[in-house]
Amino acid sequence: MKAALLAFAVAALAAMLFSLPSGEECIGSWASPLAGRTSAQRHNAVRAAERLDGAVIQPGEVFSFNGRVGSCSRDQGFLRAPVSFNGQLVITWGGGVCQTSTTLYNAALLGGMEVVERHPHRFAPTYVPPGRDAAVAYDAFDLKFRNPYDVPVRVRCSVEGERLVIRLCAAGAQKPEVRVWQDVRHIAQPATLTTGSGGRHTRLRTQGAPGFDVVVLRSVGGRQEVVSSNRYPALNTILERLE
């Protein structure tokens, strides 16, 4: 049943031939990979994208991801899926939605939006360059940004192959040249720790990942700004000895 729901959701977005209303153009876009995600994570990412699609942000308006997507609960069509919590994978409702908020965040950065609220994950996700993630949790962490243009901006979402794509579109927006990049100051390699004793065999409990000290910068119309400065600790590899 879950697989059928996922296939339907993906097909619904993929079937939308991406086209813009007359006069609209893309002012910022980003794509993140769906390959390697669990079926439930993919379902939740696509479900959130479906809710985002078509949102219109008026001039000067502050857009809220949580305000548009709402609670990622069962009654809203979301599934239980893995999510990282303090370095451990836990199963909870809406796991995978942060990929959608992260994809939107990067489209907003490239689209010249004014970021009002953004939260990093504890550990750096693998589906986006370090420092470019945006964690959300309903009633706790939100992603918010303001439309600085004098015309409305529309959010367009689609699944294209194995990619989740989010575009910000507008008609007649006088968008300056925008560039976003990362300055990785330090990379911390994970250690390998072993728990238990007495056994010759081990099993992998936690897959390690590097940590980063990274600054994200943006140039808007030639004016450079620091978007964020984040430190992600390394996630150690944990092996468990089996009796």
**Residue 143 domain-assigned?**
yes
**Residue 195 domain-assigned?**
no
Which residues neighbour 119 within 8 Å (Cβ) at sequence distance 6 or greater? 134, 135, 136, 141, 142, 143
Instruction: Mark the ranges of the chain whose per-residue pLDDT is less than 50.
Output: 1-17
The pLDDT of residue 51 is 96
**Residue 228 domain-assigned?**
no
The pLDDT of residue 185 is 98
**Residue 61 domain-assigned?**
yes
The pLDDT of residue 12 is 42
Overall pTM > 0.85: yes
The pLDDT of residue 10 is 45
Tell me the residue type at 159: V
The pLDDT of residue 94 is 80
**Residue 209 domain-assigned?**
no
**Residue 186 domain-assigned?**
no
**Can you read off the two tokens belonging to residue 219?**
């140039």
The pLDDT of residue 55 is 97
Count the domains in the chain: 1
Residue-wise pLDDT for 173-184, tens only, equals: 999 999 999 999
Q: What angle do CA 240, 80, 135 make, to 5 degrees?
A: 85
Residue-wise pLDDT for 95-151, tens only, equals: 899 999 999 999 999 999 999 999 999 999 999 999 999 999 988 899 999 999 999
How many helices (H) and strands (E) the chain has is answered by 4, 15
The pLDDT of residue 238 is 85
Residue with tokens 């009796």: 243
**Residue 40 domain-assigned?**
yes
Q: Which residue segment(s) compose the domain that 74 sits in?
A: 2-174
**Residue 82 domain-assigned?**
yes
